[in-house]
Amino acid sequence: MTSSPSAMDVDPPNYDHVTINDSDVHSIVLSYLVHNCYRETVESFAASTGMNQPADYLDGIEKRKKIFECALEGNALKAIDLTEQLAPDLLESNKDLHFDLLSLHFVELVCSRKCNEALEFAQTKLTPFGKMQKYVEKLEDFMALLAYEEPEKSPMFHLLSLEHRQQVVDSLNQAILAQAKLPSHTPMERLIQQTAVVRQLLNQDHAKDGHPPFALKDFLNG
Amino acid sequence: MARLLQSEEDEVIGSKGVIKKVEFVQIIAKALYSLGYKKSGAHLEEESGIPLHSSAVNMFMHQILDGNWGESVATLHSIGLKDESTVKSASFLILEQKFFELLDGGKVMDALKTLRTEIAHLCASSNQLRELSSNLVSFSHDLRAKSRPKLLQELQELLPPTIMVPERRLEQLVEQALTLQRDACVFHNSLDREISLYTDHQCGRDQIPSRTLQILEAHSDEVWFLNFSHNGKYLASSSNDQSAIIWEVGTNGEVSLKHKLSGHHKPVSSVSWSSDDGKLLTCGVEESVRCWDVSSGECLHVYEKSGPGLVSCGWSPDGKSIFSGVNDRSICMWDLDGKEVENWKGQRTLRISDLEITRDGKQIMSIFKETAILLFDREAKSERVIEEDQTITSFSLSRDNRYLLVNLVGPEIHLWNIDGDINLVAKYKGHKRTRFVIKSCFGGSEQAFVASGSEDSQVYIWHRGSEELIGKLSGHSGSVNCVSWNPVNPHMLASASDDGTIRIWGLNSHLQQHKKLQQVHSNGGSMAAAYNGRT
């Protein structure tokens, strides 16, 4: 193949062998929506496709959504409380996560320039983690933030960012779902990942034929 | 404090006019304070009108010791430092102390404030700041702040000497002078480390062996080689009479015969002591190498090859193997039972050739060409060469394995540095040589001397560093073939001669003692006989 109009349409003859079940597609979409707490969308999608979902499904979504909103907007302590309510012992068995959530609160205090409070909080809540070596370095990172009058300009500024908070929230989501014996990664995510890996391998084999390396974005854009 | 006039500030003292009076007095005052004589120090400052420190510096020192941090930093800026970075570093040290003292006192919030507002901008790197901030949450209860006097000392080292006279400067200057004197002393040969400040150190010749203390006459022919053991308690000699002798050095320095080692059927050209001095190797010229037990005198083993003859011998430092040069130009290595373990072929030795092995067992040195010595690293399998411009007759290795003394036909003796780059360091001349192999050695306190035999029957001694000939010892009636300096007693030297005797040389002062001893012993028959080396 020298040129292909649509990346996705490479090997169309092969695709013809694969039948796709509508209900499978619906499941994939629904699970994605549930995972990411799009409650209203879940309701309307389920109604449109005629899928039924149990009531506590929606309840679970609502609770998780509340936790993540708190964490993202900087109310980490409330997020922890709600998590404890929803999934008791979760944080006990996920020390890394517990530390990350507590440090979100610490960061919030630093950003509001409440340094003395931040220091106290660190001493009471974060220091106990310091008994394990792997937390010592993380702790040092956070303590260093205190030394700067403008923490946004310090080398550790990434700890203050939204991306960091989002990462913590994602980990929390996965942990909660895992504890509820639900998949911590959506089928959608896994399917896309698989496609990328397979395509990459195939392209590598054909690399000498002059095919460019695989790019997921280009593939999806057709 | 009295202010000095400009003219006073430039005043010099001393015969050479290079010592500034102000600096001289200040160093003395500093020394007085260091010794604890505060009153004397203060008195000197007052009487001379020369303050040890400017008033600003005095204030600074008090502020540090009292913990007035803010004020001390301010004073720092007014002391007159030209270098901004020094001011910054010193300020950092002071504020760091403030930070740690606050932490140790439990005032964590204050410490945090200090860190943020005062220290952060002084940090050399973000790592430094990070390290400090990690102290805000502590895992131990140890005190973190150093003592204030220690801080002051660190600041003193940081500040230029013109601002604050360095600690112990006077001691340093005196030590420099003493070291120079000692190095310049050509006859310095004492184990005694006492050097007095009252006079310049200058040893007289009386520290160099110069008198015959004993003549040992047990060999029946030319004595070709001798060597003291590592512990200085024994001397081994080898002769054209096909024997070797182990002598014992008594506690009062008298040498007596211990064992006569017979068995070779050729003249014995050299001997080698094991590192623990428990065994001795002897080498018969182009014949075999024999291993002897030193305490019993028993021959433990004979090493030989069927065919070629052995020409030199040496111990591996661990005492488990023996090296030998062979007259087929190779070098071979044996284990103690006589099994040949390794063999290095190629042109490595000449007939009758010296062999030296370094203390770490890695390098083997041998004369492989008339004018060159091979330094073979058997671990790295690499070779280095010392090239001479004349024929080489013998060489010996210094105790620290960094230097090689090479005897040339000239006659000249060359000192080579073999540690790192090979280079010629010194040359020694004066002795005589036309036909025979003459050997030389290092010796004396810290191997500061070079001694050699000579065909004019004398022992020659040079000061190693200055190449100056400092002694010619006469007494022998034949060519002196070899000398050995006792490694443990820098006042004892032994020489081997074609006249069949070995002479023990010592200090002039010892001669008087020896004579007294001889008188005492001559009343006790057999002791005197042994003393004179007759069997």
Residues B280-304: pLDDT tens digits?
999 999 899 999 999 999 999 999 8
CA-atom Rg of chain A in angstroms: 23
Regarding whether A195 and A206 lie in a shared domain, the answer is yes
| ipTM of predicted complex | 0.71
Q: In chain B, which residues have their Cβ closer than 8 Å to the Cβ of A143?
A: 130, 133-134, 136-137
B147-152 mean pLDDT: 88
Contact A147 B132 (CB under 8 A): yes
Question: Within an 8 Å CB–CB cutoff, is residue B143 touching chain A?
Answer: no
Question: Within an 8 Å CB–CB cutoff, is residue B130 touching chain A?
Answer: yes
Cα B94 to Cα B64: distance, rounded to the nearest angstrom: 8
Query: Between B130, B132, B137, which is nearest A130 by CB?
Result: B137
Q: Is there a contact between B127 and B40 (Cβ–Cβ < 8 Å)?
A: no
Regarding whether A45 and A135 lie in a shared domain, the answer is no
pLDDT band at B514 (very low <50, low <70, confident <90, very high): low
DSSP letters spanning A72-129:
HTT-HHHHHHHHHHHSTTHHHH-HHHHHHHHHHHHHHHHHTT-HHHHHHHIIIIIGGG
B227-232 mean pLDDT: 94
B316-345 mean pLDDT: 89
Query: Between B117, B126, B136, which is nearest A146 by CB?
Result: B136
B406-419 mean pLDDT: 91
Cα B451 to Cα B396: distance, rounded to the nearest angstrom: 11
Regarding whether A62 and A142 lie in a shared domain, the answer is yes
Residue A82 inside a domain? The answer is yes
- Smallest Cα distance from A122 to chain B, Å: 8
User: What pLDDT score does B532 carry?
Assistant: 41
Residue A93 inside a domain? The answer is yes
Q: Please name every residue paired with B494 in a beta bridge, in sequence order, or none if there are none.
A: B484, B504
User: What pLDDT score does B194 carry?
Assistant: 66
Residue B60 confidence (pLDDT) above 60: yes
| Sequence-distant (≥ 6) Cβ neighbours of residue A35 within 8 angstroms | A173, A177, A183, A186
Q: Is there a contact between A126 and A103 (Cβ–Cβ < 8 Å)?
A: yes
- Smallest Cα distance from A19 to chain B, Å: 59
Q: Which helix (H) or strand (E) holds B463?
A: strand B459-463
Residue B529 confidence (pLDDT) above 70: no
Mutation pick from B123, B134, B138, B141 vs chain A, by most beta carbons of A within 10 Å, is B134
Q: In chain A, which residues have their Cβ closer than 8 Å to the Cβ of B122?
A: none
Instruction: Please state which of the ranges A200-214, B160-174, B486-500 shows the lowest mean pLDDT.
Output: A200-214
Extract the tokens encoding A134: 């792997």
How far apart, in Å, are the Cα atoms of B175 and each of A21, B166, B193? 95, 15, 13
Question: Within an 8 Å CB–CB cutoff, is residue A128 touching chain B?
Answer: no
Question: Within an 8 Å CB–CB cutoff, is residue B132 touching chain A?
Answer: yes
- Smallest Cα distance from A107 to chain B, Å: 15
Residue A98 inside a domain? The answer is yes
Q: Which helix (H) or strand (E) holds B272?
A: strand B268-273
Extract the tokens encoding A5: 């109009």
Which amino acid is it at B327?
N
What confidence tens digit (pLDDT) does each residue in A6-58 have? 555 556 667 777 888 888 888 888 888 888 888 888 888 888 888 877 666 77
Residue A129 inside a domain? The answer is yes
Question: Within an 8 Å CB–CB cutoff, is residue B95 touching chain A?
Answer: no
What confidence tens digit (pLDDT) does each residue in A59-97 have? 788 888 888 888 888 888 888 888 888 888 888 888 888
Q: Which helix (H) or strand (E) holds B413?
A: strand B412-417
Residue A151 confidence (pLDDT) above 60: yes
By C-alpha distance, the chain B residue nearest A124 is B137
Residue A222 confidence (pLDDT) above 60: yes
Residue A1 inside a domain? The answer is no
How far apart, in Å, are the Cα atoms of B481 and each of A27, B365, B431? 105, 21, 12
pLDDT band at B334 (very low <50, low <70, confident <90, very high): very high
User: What pLDDT score does B202 carry?
Assistant: 75
- Smallest Cα distance from B110 to chain A, Å: 9
User: What pLDDT score does B121 carry?
Assistant: 84
Question: Within an 8 Å CB–CB cutoff, is residue B115 touching chain A?
Answer: yes
Query: Between B108, B133, B139, which is nearest A147 by CB?
Result: B133
User: What pLDDT score does B191 carry?
Assistant: 61
Contact B126 A139 (CB under 8 A): no
User: What pLDDT score does B531 carry?
Assistant: 39
Residue A39 inside a domain? The answer is yes
Contact B134 A144 (CB under 8 A): yes
DSSP letters spanning B184-200:
H-TT---S-----SSS-
Question: Within an 8 Å CB–CB cutoff, is residue A147 touching chain B?
Answer: yes
Residue B185 confidence (pLDDT) above 90: no
- Smallest Cα distance from A108 to chain B, Å: 18
SS3 of residue B75 by DSSP: helix
DSSP letters spanning chain A:
----S-GGGSSHHHHTT----HHHHHHHHHHHHHHTT-HHHHHHHHHHHT----HHHHHHHHHHHHHHHHHHTT-HHHHHHHHHHHSTTHHHH-HHHHHHHHHHHHHHHHHTT-HHHHHHHIIIIIGGGGGSHHHHHHHHHHHHHHT-SSGGGSTTGGGGSHHHHHHHHHHHHHHHHHHTTS-SS-HHHHHHHHHHHHHHHHHHHTGGGTPPPP-HHHHHH-
Question: Within an 8 Å CB–CB cutoff, is residue B124 touching chain A?
Answer: no
Higher pLDDT, B446 or B467: B467
By C-alpha distance, the chain A residue nearest B121 is A148
Which amino acid is it at B460?
Y
Burial class (CB in 10 A: 0-12, 13-18, 19+), B263: middle
Residue A6 inside a domain? The answer is no
Regarding whether A67 and A118 lie in a shared domain, the answer is yes
Query: Between A115, A127, A149, which is nearest B137 by CB?
Result: A127
Residue B465 confidence (pLDDT) above 70: yes
Q: What is the mean pLDDT of chain A?
A: 82
Say how many C-beta atoms besides its own lie within 10 A of residue A217's C-beta.
6
Q: In chain B, which residues have their Cβ closer than 8 Å to the Cβ of A138?
A: none
Domain range for A205: 186-222
Contact A119 B129 (CB under 8 A): no
Extract the tokens encoding B500: 């069949």
Higher pLDDT, B381 or A209: B381
Q: Is there a contact between B271 and B281 (Cβ–Cβ < 8 Å)?
A: yes
Regarding whether A84 and A49 lie in a shared domain, the answer is no
B434-446 mean pLDDT: 86
Question: Within an 8 Å CB–CB cutoff, is residue A123 touching chain B?
Answer: yes
Question: Within an 8 Å CB–CB cutoff, is residue A126 touching chain B?
Answer: yes
Cα B4 to Cα A201: distance, rounded to the nearest angstrom: 87
Which amino acid is it at B182?
R
Q: In chain B, which residues have their Cβ closer than 8 Å to the Cβ of A122?
A: 136-137
pLDDT band at B245 (very low <50, low <70, confident <90, very high): very high
Cα B430 to Cα B452: distance, rounded to the nearest angstrom: 10
Q: How many domains does chain A have?
A: 3
The terminus-to-terminus CA distance of chain B in angstroms comes to 83
User: What pLDDT score does B97 carry?
Assistant: 92
B97-113 mean pLDDT: 88
What confidence tens digit (pLDDT) does each residue in B357-395 have? 998 888 999 988 888 999 988 888 888 999 999 888 899
Q: In chain A, which residues have their Cβ closer than 8 Å to the Cβ of B129?
A: 144, 147-148
Q: Is there a contact between A120 and A106 (Cβ–Cβ < 8 Å)?
A: no
**B9-24 b/e (C-beta count within 10 Å ≥ 16 → b):** eeeeeeeeeeeebbeb
By C-alpha distance, the chain A residue nearest B130 is A144
Q: Provide the strand spans (E) within B206-267.
A: 211-216, 223-228, 234-239, 244-249, 255-261
Instruction: Please state which of the ranges A202-216, B99-113, B246-260, B493-507 shows the lowest mean pLDDT.
Output: A202-216
Using the 8-state DSSP alphabet, how is residue B220 labeled? S
Q: What is the percent of chain A with per-residue pLDDT over 90, rounded to a whole number? A: 0
User: What pLDDT score does B256 carry?
Assistant: 93
| Sequence-distant (≥ 6) Cβ neighbours of residue B194 within 8 angstroms | none
- The values of phi and psi at residue B301, to 5°, are -160, 155
Regarding whether A149 and A202 lie in a shared domain, the answer is no
Regarding whether A165 and A201 lie in a shared domain, the answer is no
HSE-up (13 A, CA, CB side) for residue B409: 10
Cα B254 to Cα B216: distance, rounded to the nearest angstrom: 11
Q: Is there a contact between B507 and B213 (Cβ–Cβ < 8 Å)?
A: no
- Smallest Cα distance from A92 to chain B, Å: 22
| Sequence-distant (≥ 6) Cβ neighbours of residue B130 within 8 angstroms | A140, A141, A143, A144, A147
Regarding whether A74 and A36 lie in a shared domain, the answer is no
Contact A119 B116 (CB under 8 A): no
Residue B528 confidence (pLDDT) above 70: no
Residue A4 inside a domain? The answer is no
Regarding whether A139 and A104 lie in a shared domain, the answer is yes
Regarding whether A45 and A68 lie in a shared domain, the answer is no
Q: Shortest CA distance to B259 belongs to which of B225, B224, B295?
A: B295
By C-alpha distance, the chain A residue nearest B107 is A116
Regarding whether A157 and A146 lie in a shared domain, the answer is yes
By C-alpha distance, the chain B residue nearest A136 is B134
By C-alpha distance, the chain A residue nearest B136 is A143
Q: In chain B, which residues have their Cβ closer than 8 Å to the Cβ of A147?
A: 115-116, 119-120, 129-130, 132-133
pLDDT band at B139 (very low <50, low <70, confident <90, very high): low
Query: Between B108, B119, B129, which is nearest A144 by CB?
Result: B129
Q: What is the percent of chain B with per-residue pLDDT over 90, rounded to a whole number? A: 43
Q: In chain A, which residues have their Cβ closer than 8 Å to the Cβ of B139?
A: 127, 130-131
Contact B133 A139 (CB under 8 A): no
Question: Within an 8 Å CB–CB cutoff, is residue A117 touching chain B?
Answer: no
Q: Is there a contact between B321 and B341 (Cβ–Cβ < 8 Å)?
A: yes
Extract the tokens encoding B313: 């011998």
SS3 of residue B135 by DSSP: helix
Regarding whether A205 and A110 lie in a shared domain, the answer is no
Q: In chain A, which residues have their Cβ closer than 8 Å to the Cβ of B106?
A: none
Q: Is there a contact between A51 and A29 (Cβ–Cβ < 8 Å)?
A: no
Q: Which of A53, A73, A96 is the last residue of a domain?
A: A53
Instruction: Please state which of the ranges B16-20, B333-337, B350-354 shows the lowest mean pLDDT.
Output: B350-354
Cα A103 to Cα B174: distance, rounded to the nearest angstrom: 60
Question: Within an 8 Å CB–CB cutoff, is residue B136 touching chain A?
Answer: yes
Contact A115 B116 (CB under 8 A): yes
